[in-house]
Structure 1
Amino acid sequence: MNTRIRNIIAAAAAAVITAGPAHAQQPADASQPAKNVVLVHGAFADGSGWRGVYDELTARGYNVSIVQNPLTSLADDVAATNRILARQDGPTILVGHSWGGTVITEAGVDEKVVGLVYVSALSPDAGETTADQYTGFTTPPEFVIDAGADGFGFLDLEKFKAAFAADTTDADAAFMRDSQVPIAMSSFGTTLENAAWRSKPSWAVIATDDKAFDQAMLQHMAERIGAEVTEVAASHAVFMTQPKVVADVIDRAAQEAGGEAR
């Protein structure tokens, strides 16, 4: 190894060692604009599905970051979200779709987070599991999870479009079906330690044609957390198929939770 490369590696290592304090959590100043948005995807998907929302928000002047959840456990997904929150330079709106709602509920206690947006998303309370949210409600018959021997689940291939993306083209639904990211089924049984919605204002986008959740369940969760609700005719893939509606709600959340956003 030559001297120049050795010096570069040494400098990089030193930077990593000294970088910690720079990311120390700073309380959000509610008097400052909420110019940052962090987007958290749900199960069976990845962060690329947020592209339309990302384009809408960046065009409006927001700094947008997208979490890539490993979907290996709640703790791992929260850690992935916290890693992105640590990179934000001020008040931030935290957004979750589906399972991502559980993630933002736990991670949203970060002091930089000034508002939460639930996009057809789960919102457990502290001491509850994600699975608890289904008690008393009926899961639509289209939504079928095939769990493997290793404990990871995929959505049923034949029912995927009807369950997840009924308002997309056959080609787009096929691509989403064949690029699924499986989730560790044990994640749904993990008890939350925090419920950020108890101390942060919340907004909810409810897809009225969602076949992943009972509509009564979505309405119940939104009412319980005191969310301002926006309904839109869309499938569970509302974060992809209705990017403007979702971005409008995030925009409103940023303005109401953190002062004028732009």
Structure 2
Amino acid sequence: MKAKLICKKPDFLLLIIALFISINFYSQEPKTIKNIVLVHGAFVDGSGWEGVYDVLVKKGYNVSVTQHNLMSFDDDVKAVNRIIDQQNGPCILVGHSYGGAIITMAGNNPKVAGLVYVAAHAPDDGEAEADNGKIYPAAYKSLIKGEDGLDYINPEKFPDDFAGGVPKEKAKFMAFSQTPTADVAFHAIIKNPAWKTKPSWYVVAKSDRIINPDLERMYAKRAKSTVIEVDGASHCVFITHPNEVSNLIISASNMKK
């Protein structure tokens, strides 16, 4: 005689409900994105990310640092996209300063899951960072525009204006090893900003002399970014406060998918 499996209707309904709750719970669990791409800004190179790189690598992240030549905005976006394309899965794209404009465009790459702006420009469609800087003027007056179309910051004023909080000897080295940047790059018009369709995070450097902190706040508010503000931080917040910057990147990497 065959045994019959008897399942009462109330018990069956409870089983279905429990299964639904379980599936829903696990689907809402954050899934960590392990690939991080760090994008430097004007007048510097990727070496400035070393502190952030060290923190993230020790926590098990796969970190790539871009090296673009600052001669052409379009070429810089292509250089960053080249590194994004090399990732073995989704990534968090992080940009400092002018690098923010770059990630605003490169962030449209389908491998980019989220954007982190670090004292960075985040222009809207049809905007250029240079024009936004006129609406919210910065404190520094040390920009030198060369006759060859390349800009740089007066090395004597670089430590205070750009690298506040960085040890003096290191700031001086940065000043005299800075990478001149094509002035036209700052006037590139943004199209289809990625922050309109992808989640973003923002680090406001409250003592920034290169980008007005109020402009940073405007960018963050407009993009509906998750924001942290770092007291006493200069434009080099990514160097002077690597833990705070890294923690925000880690928060971005733990987004729900």
Same-fold call, TM cutoff 0.5: yes
Asked whether the equivalents of residues 35 and 254 of structure 1 are also in contact (C-alpha less than 8 Å), the reply is: yes
Q: Which residue of 2 aligns with 1:159?
A: 157
Cα distance in 2 for partners of 1:165, 1:222 equals: 22
Residues 1-262 of structure 1: matches in 2 within 5 Å? 33-140=32-139, 142-233=140-231, 234-256=233-255, 258=257
Given the superposition, is the C-alpha separation of residues 157 and 36 from structure 1 closer, same or farther in structure 2, using an over 3 Å criterion?
A: same
Q: 1:123 aligns to what SS in structure 2?
A: coil
Aligned-pair RMSD on alpha carbons? 1.4
| Structure 1: tracts of 5 or more residues without a match | 1-29
Displacement of 1:257 after TM fit? 5.0
Aligned length: 228
What does the per-residue CA deviation read over 1:87-137, in whole Å, with 9 as the maximum and x for residues that have no partner?
Answer: 001110000000000000010000010100000000001221122222421
Cα distance in 2 for partners of 1:111, 1:183 equals: 28
Mean alpha-carbon deviation: is it higher for 77-86 or for 122-131? 122-131
Mean alpha-carbon deviation: is it higher for 191-200 or for 244-253? 191-200
Asked whether the equivalents of residues 156 and 175 of structure 2 are also in contact (C-alpha less than 8 Å), the reply is: no
| Structure 2: tracts of 5 or more residues without a match | 1-28
What does the per-residue CA deviation read over 1:181-227, in whole Å, with 9 as the maximum and x for residues that have no partner?
Answer: 11100111111122000000000011111111222111111111111
- Calculate percent identity across the aligned residue pairs: 46
Asked whether the equivalents of residues 143 and 211 of structure 1 are also in contact (C-alpha less than 8 Å), the reply is: no
Q: 2:92 aligns to what SS in structure 1?
A: strand
TM-score with structure 1 setting the length: 0.84
Cα distance in 2 for partners of 1:227, 1:152 equals: 32
Displacement of 1:168 after TM fit? 1.3
Cα distance in 1 for partners of 2:122, 2:181 equals: 18
Asked whether the equivalents of residues 39 and 99 of structure 2 are also in contact (C-alpha less than 8 Å), the reply is: yes
Given the superposition, is the C-alpha separation of residues 64 and 143 from structure 1 closer, same or farther in structure 2, using an over 3 Å criterion?
A: farther
What does the per-residue CA deviation read over 1:41-76, in whole Å, with 9 as the maximum and x for residues that have no partner?
Answer: 000100000000000001111100000021011101
Q: 1:256 aligns to what SS in structure 2?
A: coil
Letter in 2 for 1:127: G
Q: Which residue of 2 aligns with 1:20?
A: none
Q: 1:72 aligns to what SS in structure 2?
A: coil
Cα distance in 1 for partners of 2:57, 2:35 equals: 10
Cα distance in 2 for partners of 1:131, 1:174 equals: 26
Cα distance in 1 for partners of 2:91, 2:105 equals: 15
Cα distance in 2 for partners of 1:246, 1:53 equals: 7
Cα distance in 2 for partners of 1:226, 1:193 equals: 18
Displacement of 1:139 after TM fit? 1.6
Q: 1:93 aligns to what SS in structure 2?
A: strand
Asked whether the equivalents of residues 126 and 191 of structure 2 are also in contact (C-alpha less than 8 Å), the reply is: yes
Letter in 2 for 1:249: L
Cα distance in 2 for partners of 1:222, 1:162 equals: 25
Asked whether the equivalents of residues 117 and 203 of structure 1 are also in contact (C-alpha less than 8 Å), the reply is: yes
Computing the radius of gyration from Cα coordinates, the structure with the larger value is 2
Displacement of 1:159 after TM fit? 1.2
Cα distance in 2 for partners of 1:225, 1:106 equals: 14
